[in-house]
Structure 1
Amino acid sequence: MNTLKKIWDHRGIIEKFEANRNVEQAEPMKAYMKDHFSFLGIRSPLRKELLKEQFREYALPEPEQLFSEVWKLYKLPEREYQYAAIALLEKMKKHLTSDDLPDLLQLIESKSWWDSVDSIAPKAIGHVVKLDRTHGEKVMREWSLSDNMWTNRSAILHQLKFKQETNTDLLFEMINQHSSSNEFFIQKAIGWVLREYAKTNPDIVKLFVEENPLKPLSKREALKHFK
């Protein structure tokens, strides 16, 4: 028999997470993230189980309330709450449209680090761009020229899971814009997206790497699976 779910309340997540706060685990988790964020000390398997409980217990918010609810979690200090906000975003991804790109940009540029950016860019942003390639790719070109490094990384990575649907011209255009960057996270993103696309189109990737100047890290990452 189906039980009636409660109306969505983000405080359900807070209660679940606070009940599982682990000070001993919080410090090494904080250290792993270079002390950029404080942690509750809830490791990934338990955090995911607690979020499953939340989604079983509570109905999802109305689509027009999505970002309001996401921000209620995202603004909390401990990093697990940003992960919870991203999980809610992923749960309601089908409701996202190109109109939501400004809100997604705000998330990318808030409390930015590789863990949040790499969850939002290929999934939520990639999904939105696929819905409207003309508008989405125009916005991605703007993001690629941003002064914010994490926004650049998001633009590079938004096609990470596109496989045969990859716009190769756009991908290579963005990579060439940033190929001389000394920023570790940009070099790594270039290598990662090329390595992933090589699973679909190895010859084009190999040729691109051979014919274009890339930083050693980008090149090494791009060719990691080539013999």
Structure 2
Amino acid sequence: MSFVTTIKQQFEANENVAYGKKQSDYLKNNFSFYGIQTQARRDILKKCTSIYKDEIKTNFRAICWQLYQFPHREMHHAAIDVFIKEIKNNYQIEDILLIEKLITTNSWWDSVDTLAKYAVGGYLETFPEKKYEIIEAFSNADNMWLNRTAIIFQLGYKQKTDFNVLVSECEKHKQSTEFFIQKAIGWALREYGSVNPTAVLNYVNSTNLKPLSKKEAIRKII
């Protein structure tokens, strides 16, 4: 039996239809859910990965993509958890292709935000020479989730944030009518504002951001 088969069986064995309906409603009914709470899902994943750790370590990229083909959101979250754990300090230059596929498949904020921060953010720390090329491509893509990724990939960078890149992305997308883009701009600015509030306030006060973006950007500064 494989890791994918085993974790699917474990999720099915712990299905809670009523709670799954609530989870699906929360994500606007974009996905099916087994109805497993976060900690229980992680416990199941931990148990399964301990059994199949060798298989996962040697084949985690293919496993993650296989998990992503299932309709249930818990399978997607398991894929992301495995990917983030295994890819750390193990990036290959071509991994950005798989990361982009994961971002643009079964897309919603709960998957994209994790991939943006930990997968793209980590990849570009490993290959900083690829930063401008990749972020420009994501920013110009006809895909809102790639655009959001280009804005928020530096979450967690703190003092290492390239503020010029952040401002460039905010300027490019500041007139967007997409809720998730406006929210991303505010979130990214707010995060950087925790280490450089003056820079963020100066930028917010000197540009014409959408009200939601501005509100989110300065929420913890003033």
AA aligned opposite 1:210: N
User: What RMSD over aligned residues (CA atoms) do the two structures have, in Å?
Assistant: 1.4
> In structure 1, which of residues 75, 92, 95 is the aligned counterpart of residue 86 of structure 2?
92
Contact 2:49 2:56 in 1 (8 A): no
State yes or no: 1:67 paired with 2:61.
yes
Give the count of matched residue pairs. Answer: 221
Q: What's the CA shift for 1:64?
A: 6.0
Q: Does 2:197 align with 1:202?
A: yes
Q: Cα deviations across residues 34-85 of structure 1 (Å, max 9, x unaligned)?
A: 1111111111111111111122222144656222110111110111100000
TM-score by length of 2: 0.95
Q: Which amino acid aligns with 2:127?
A: D
**Structure 2 counterpart of 1:111:** 106
* Contact 1:39/1:80, CA 8 A, preserved across alignment: yes
Aligned match of 1:21: 15
User: Does the 8 Å CA contact 1:153/1:189 hold for their aligned counterparts?
Assistant: yes
User: In terms of mean alpha carbon deviation, does 7-16 or 158-167 score higher?
Assistant: 7-16
SS across alignment from 2:94: helix
TM-score by length of 1: 0.93
Asked whether the equivalents of residues 20 and 35 of structure 2 are also in contact (C-alpha less than 8 Å), the reply is yes
CA contact (8 A) 1:175 1:190 kept: yes
The unaligned stretches of length 5 or more in structure 2 are none
Query: Which of 112, 121, 127 is the matching residue for 1:132?
Result: 127
User: In the alignment, which residue of structure 2 is the partner of 1:32?
Assistant: 26
1:150 to 2:148 alignment:
no
AA aligned to 2:205 is E
The change in CA–CA distance for 1:184 and 1:145 in structure 2 (over 3 A counts) is same
Would you identify which runs of 4 or more consecutive aligned residues in structure 1 move more than 3 Å? 60-64
Confirm or deny: 8 A CA contact 1:128 1:136 kept in the other structure.
no
More helix by share: 2
Aligned to 1:4: none
Unmatched segments (≥5 aa) in structure 1: 1-6
Alpha-carbon distance between aligned partners in 1 of 2:93 and 2:217, rounded to the nearest angstrom: 30
